[in-house]
């Protein structure tokens, strides 16, 4: 970020916050309470949780606006996944992985194409059936429900996993108290995390929500976007169950990824 931009942003934010304080006639007591909450979130180990709940999704939107390819969702901390352990297999996530490419034509100008792409790396991680993450929450086996796969020769992928429940953010700290005061709940809708990796295009971090899922319209972090919601289809067809070696009905989720050059910070055109 250039120094001119820092200056423009901070000076406008300063003006806007001072206007806000004047408009609402914020007293010193109220001001001090606000700083105690803001400082308290960090001291309580919540890091940027309070800001993320209220503001992060907007910054992600702005990055996605007007760009092609799958929307980016920069939520969650990716821990290099190595193994996907399953407790209750009952959900199959599948889809295609395509790349936006620009190929040189004989006429000289590059031609834009969207093609299936094989061997694209996918990191997957999610909460377990109780809403808990391995390597974050205690008592969960290391690397549970974290895994790495690659799309196959057809540019498609499929992974068998469990359906996570809605996710509840920490509610006992300062952020929880702010949300309580607003009369808001602490839940985000159930979701799966996926990170795509391509050696030239870089990484795309995303997450997939389920249509008709609980809290889809009242996400505590206001992060749900149409392009991130996939249909959840229940399948109890005996033939399909048999083909998968299952005795109980399962769910199917399909999500197709498109990786465009802009996703990479050091994007280079693929000739």
Residue ranges in contact with a second copy by CB under 8 A: 1, 3, 5-14, 16-18, 20-22, 24-36, 38-39, 42-43, 47-48, 51-52, 54-56, 58-60, 62-63, 72, 74, 178, 181-183
Residue whose CB is less far from a second copy, 45 or 138? 45
Residue whose CB is less far from a second copy, 157 or 186? 186
Residue whose CB is less far from a second copy, 107 or 181? 181
Spatial contact of 131 and 165, defined as CB atoms under 8 Å apart: yes
Residue whose CB is less far from a second copy, 10 or 129? 10
Residue whose CB is less far from a second copy, 11 or 130? 11
Beta carbon of residue 65, minimum distance to a second copy (angstroms, whole number):
8
Beta carbon of residue 63, minimum distance to a second copy (angstroms, whole number):
5
In this structure, the strands spanning 250-254 and 91-104 are: parallel
Beta carbon of residue 194, minimum distance to a second copy (angstroms, whole number):
17
Residue listed under structure tokens 């996939």 = 230
Beta carbon of residue 237, minimum distance to a second copy (angstroms, whole number):
42
Half-sphere exposure of 71 (CA within 13 A, CB side): 23
Of how many residues is the chain composed?
Answer: 271
Residue whose CB is less far from a second copy, 46 or 128? 46
Beta carbon of residue 156, minimum distance to a second copy (angstroms, whole number):
29
Beta carbon of residue 229, minimum distance to a second copy (angstroms, whole number):
20
Beta carbon of residue 5, minimum distance to a second copy (angstroms, whole number):
8
Residue whose CB is less far from a second copy, 30 or 130? 30
């Amino acid at each position: 970020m250039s120094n001119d931009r820092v200056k423009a942003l901070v000076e406008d934010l300063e003006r806007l916050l001072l206007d806000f304080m004047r408009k609402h006639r914020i007293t010193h007591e109220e001001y001090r309470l606000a700083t105690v909450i803001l400082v308290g979130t960090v001291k309580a180990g919540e890091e940027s949780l309070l800001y993320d709940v209220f503001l992060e999704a907007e910054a992600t939107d702005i990055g996605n606006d007007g760009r092609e390819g799958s929307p980016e969702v920069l939520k969650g901390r990716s821990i290099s996944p190595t193994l996907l352990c399953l407790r209750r297999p009952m959900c199959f996530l599948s889809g295609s992985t395509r790349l936006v490419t620009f190929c040189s034509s004989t006429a000289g100008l590059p031609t834009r194409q969207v093609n299936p792409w094989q061997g694209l790396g996918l990191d997957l991680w999610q909460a377990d059936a109780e809403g808990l993450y391995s390597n974050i929450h205690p008592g969960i086996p290391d690397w549970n429900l974290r895994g790495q796969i690659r799309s196959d020769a057809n540019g498609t992928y499929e992974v068998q996993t469990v359906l996570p429940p809605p996710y509840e953010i920490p509610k006992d700290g300062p952020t929880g108290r702010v949300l309580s005061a607003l009369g808001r709940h602490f839940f985000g809708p159930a979701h799966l995390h996926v990170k795509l990796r391509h050696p030239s295009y870089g990484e795309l971090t995303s997450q997939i929500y389920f249509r008709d899922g609980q809290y889809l319209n009242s996400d505590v972090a206001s992060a749900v976007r149409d392009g991130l919601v996939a249909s959840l289809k229940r399948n109890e067809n005996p033939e399909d169950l048999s083909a998968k070696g299952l005795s109980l009905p399962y769910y199917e989720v399909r999500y197709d990824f498109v990786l465009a050059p802009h996703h990479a910070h050091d994007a280079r055109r693929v000739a």
